[in-house]
């Protein structure tokens, strides 16, 4: 019995040691609520904790059928959104996803989402790491 308990304890310590720190830290994670079936935008700041270059390559959410990385670009006096395959992150670098820049597009709601709620979003990195982040849903005026 003691051997089994010791083995389980050592296995648990080994698994925690291998898991390591999360690939990044996220702050100010929020989704701008829109009515009906309109796509919503997700904003946040992400700081890389990786020892080398890393790349945010996608996101998913159980509350939305599709989540994409987008960036707003301005050309010839016109603004438009374009899909991006990833966002490069240097060690210690912070990238802010905000209106007029990088953002998440959350489409095809699977359930009603209202201001004041939290929506889980899983960020995916190029090395296979993931990070689940709760995003708060806000109205147009930040409520």
Q: How many domains does the chain have?
A: 1
Question: Does residue 36 lie in a domain region?
Answer: yes
Alpha helices in the chain (DSSP H): 2-19
73: CATH = 2.60.40.1890
* Range of the structural domain that residue 41 is part of: 22-138
* pTM of the predicted structure, to 2 decimals: 0.82
Is residue 21 within 8 Å of 14, Cβ to Cβ?
no
pLDDT digits (tens, 9 = 90+) for 75-90: 888 888 899 999 999 9
In this structure, what are the phi and psi dihedrals at residue 64, rounded to the nearest 5 degrees?
-135, 145
pLDDT digits (tens, 9 = 90+) for 86-127: 999 999 999 999 999 999 999 999 999 999 999 999 999 999
Instruction: Give one word for 81, left, alpha or beta, with left for phi > 0 and alpha for psi -120 to 50.
Output: beta
Query: What is the C-alpha to C-alpha distance for residues 77 and 82, in angstroms, rounded to an integer?
Result: 16
Q: What tokens appear for 60 in the block?
A: 């998913």
pLDDT digits (tens, 9 = 90+) for 17-74: 445 667 899 999 999 999 988 999 999 999 999 999 999 999 999 999 999 999 998 8
């Amino acid at each position: 019995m003691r051997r089994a308990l010791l083995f389980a304890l050592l296995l648990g310590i080994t698994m925690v040691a291998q898991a390591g720190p999360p690939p990044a830290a996220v702050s100010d994670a929020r989704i701008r609520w829109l009515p009906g079936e309109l796509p919503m935008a997700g904003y946040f700041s992400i700081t890389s904790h990786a020892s080398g270059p890393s790349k945010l390559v996608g996101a998913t959410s159980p509350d939305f059928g599709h989540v994409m990385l987008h960036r707003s670009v301005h050309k010839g006096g016109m603004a438009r959104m374009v899909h991006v395959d990833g966002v490069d992150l240097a060690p210690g670098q912070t990238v802010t996803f905000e209106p007029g820049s990088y953002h998440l597009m959350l489409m095809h709601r699977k359930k009603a989402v209202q201001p004041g709620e939290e929506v889980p979003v899983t960020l995916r990195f190029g090395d296979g790491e993931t990070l689940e982040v709760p995003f708060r849903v806000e109205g147009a005026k930040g409520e």
